[in-house]
Structure 1
Amino acid sequence: MSDDRLFDLKNKWLRVSVGLATAVFVASAAYGFVVSPSLDGTAIGGIWDSICSAAGVPSKRSADQGEVAPYQTSAVVLRASEFRNPPADSVGRGATLAQQCAICHGPTGISRADSPNLAGQYASVIYKQLLDFKSGARVNAVMSPFLKSMTEQDMRDLAAYYAFLPRLPGFHPSDADAAPLIVQSGSPMRGIAPCGSCHGTIENKSGSPWLEGQSATYIRAQLHSFAAGSRTNDVSQQMRTIARQMTEAEISAAAEYYASRPLGSN
């Protein structure tokens, strides 16, 4: 049989094959663009809305209804020089305000209750988190109500005071292994940057907290919150994207590494 006969429309097998392929394509398109979008529990206003929904394109119906944000995101914009060399009276006012914070964060900014250590933390980090609690971008049963009455100047004074305190140094025993791969190398194939490239030991990114000496319980809890989407105040979803890619072993390794016993502890 020649190739001419093979692709001749008079060939009934060619007609059957093309017909079946066309039928499968039409059925798949109908399911993907019409049936499947209607099964997500949302009202569909017609076939065009169904197609738009499946393709991820806003339809007239969705535009009329408006989009409702599922959570509030951080709107804080930080400048590198903004918190350098705070005036002494700002540090003094912050010391007075910090007496209200001592029950959770310790009288010297070192927590004994798995709350974050604030002593020596970057002022920009403390300010951002306080502002996020106040705006609702970050929610906590204790911190959110506490921030309601706090002014802009109060937040800056607290940030200046805690940044002024001596940082709790981390100590990694000499016989221990080097920093875990997730900290020093990340996982390029999964798009995970090294933890140390933002949080110290390699480099520090503005707005990223110094993690040395923090509680392993606290670090683990925050990574789990980012991964679950219950914490959403990371700019551009950077931490949520990373945490979702991390394995439980990597989360534990990073938490234990940064929480290594601090110098001078008993």
Structure 2
Amino acid sequence: MSIEPLFTFRNRWFTTSVAVTAGLFLVAALAGFLWLPSLQSNRGQAAEGAGGIWGEICSAAGVFRPGPAKSVTKPDFRGTQVALTPTLLKGADAASVGRGATLALQCSMCHGARGLSEADSPNLAGQHPLVIYKQLQDFKSGARSSAVMEPLVAKLTDQDMRDLAAFYAYLPRAPWNIPTDAPPPRIVISGAPVRGIAPCGACHGTLSMKPGAAWLDGQSPVYIRAQLVAFAAGTRHNDIGQQMRNIARVMTAAEIDEAARYYAGAQQ
């Protein structure tokens, strides 16, 4: 049995092991800090913003290296510019409601003389004033498109929109015929957590109410379906933070139909 120490360079096995380990480390370092970054740099994935090969090496090592600013790709449509706050419409009085009643005469053909539609347009009676104000602002700015609404809101001032919101919020809501032949749809009460869908009632009533979220009880099922489909397709895009687009695009057709029929209060 040999009594020569193991960890000494006189031991050829120890020397060979150290040499192989050092060689593997050198190959890994060259691949990780030179070869792979050069490939990514050549492909143009991040070379411009990071400063070429040296920037890629710094990035691979986890070292931040500021580079020239990159251009930001902006959407080819306008988003809502309305910032909703609890005090946004504070101070509406009887005079504001009266002015809104006069302005609402031009809205009665679609939304009804008392804010209740018979043409599958949204019912506005009793709607939250923030909802009405935001939608009017979005129609005027182009964040929400409608061949009917855009010409009507073109000449409205900010005060006009506040007065209309005050008037419609003042009107009594229509009675909601809650469906009693079946429990509320799961999408309304529980959502679909696995797909990242919050319950409809968490924002639109039943469970809670989020500022700017419309009161849906008693709305036309045709209108609700149409809006969910538009959000899912991205043709309606005035929701703040894309919350409705993110939800609608992962809802099934059956869930859209169930929610529309439930809030309409009728099995249609």
Normalised by the shorter chain, which TM-score bucket?
0.7 to 0.9
Are 1:210 and 2:236 matched, yes or no? Answer: no
**What CA deviation, in whole Å up to 9, does each residue of 1:102-131 have, x standing for no partner?**
111111101111110000000010000001
Q: Is the 8 A contact 2:179 2:262 kept in 1?
A: no
C-alpha RMSD of matched pairs (Å): 3.6
* TM-score, normalised by the number of residues in structure 1: 0.75
Question: How far apart in 2 are the matches of 1:261 and 1:74?
Answer: 32
Change (3 A) 1:205 1:31: same
Are 1:107 and 2:133 matched, yes or no? Answer: no
Q: Is the 8 A contact 1:95 1:158 kept in 2?
A: yes
Question: How far apart in 1 are the matches of 2:237 and 2:39?
Answer: 34
Once the two structures are TM-superposed, the CA of residue 175 in structure 1 deviates from its matched residue by 2.7
Question: How far apart in 1 are the matches of 2:41 and 2:126?
Answer: 55
What residue number does 2:99 align with?
93
What residue number does 2:251 align with?
246
Once the two structures are TM-superposed, the CA of residue 92 in structure 1 deviates from its matched residue by 0.4
Q: Is the 8 A contact 2:100 2:167 kept in 1?
A: yes
What residue number does 1:231 align with?
236
What residue number does 1:16 align with?
none
What residue number does 2:137 align with?
131
Report the AA paired with residue 163 of structure 2.
D
The counterpart of 2:169, out of the listed 163, 174, 182, is 163
The counterpart of 1:118, out of the listed 124, 136, 158, is 124
List structure 1 segments (4+ residues) > 4 angstroms apart after TM superposition: 28-37, 59-62
**What CA deviation, in whole Å up to 9, does each residue of 1:233-256 have, x standing for no partner?**
100000000001100000000001
Q: Which moved more, 1:135-144 or 1:250-259?
A: 135-144
**What CA deviation, in whole Å up to 9, does each residue of 1:220-242 have, x standing for no partner?**
11111111111111000000000
**What CA deviation, in whole Å up to 9, does each residue of 1:51-96 have, x standing for no partner?**
x9xxxxxx96963xx6443111111112224435621010000000
Report the AA paired with residue 222 of structure 2.
T
Once the two structures are TM-superposed, the CA of residue 135 in structure 1 deviates from its matched residue by 1.1
Q: Is the 8 A contact 1:170 1:261 kept in 2?
A: no
Q: Which segments of 5 or more consecutive residues in structure 2 lack a partner in the other structure? A: 1-16, 21-35, 57-66
Are 1:79 and 2:85 matched, yes or no? Answer: yes
Question: How far apart in 2 are the matches of 1:29 and 1:113?
Answer: 62
Question: How far apart in 2 are the matches of 1:92 and 1:35?
Answer: 65
Question: How far apart in 1 are the matches of 2:251 and 2:164?
Answer: 33
Once the two structures are TM-superposed, the CA of residue 36 in structure 1 deviates from its matched residue by 11
What residue number does 2:11 align with?
none
Question: How far apart in 1 are the matches of 2:101 and 2:216?
Answer: 22
Structure with greater Cα Rg: 2
What residue number does 1:195 align with?
200
Report the AA paired with residue 260 of structure 2.
A
Name the SS of the counterpart of 1:245 in structure 2. coil
Q: Count the aligned residue pairs.
A: 244
Report the AA paired with residue 194 of structure 2.
M
Report the AA paired with residue 255 of structure 1.
A
Report the AA paired with residue 77 of structure 2.
Y
* TM-score, normalised by the number of residues in structure 2: 0.75
Are 1:185 and 2:194 matched, yes or no? Answer: no
Report the AA paired with residue 210 of structure 1.
W
Name the SS of the counterpart of 1:116 in structure 2. coil
Superposition pairs for residues 45-84 of structure 1, below 5 Å?
A: 63=71, 67-83=73-89
| Percent identity of equivalent pairs | 54
Question: How far apart in 2 are the matches of 1:248 and 1:29?
Answer: 46
Once the two structures are TM-superposed, the CA of residue 173 in structure 1 deviates from its matched residue by 3.5
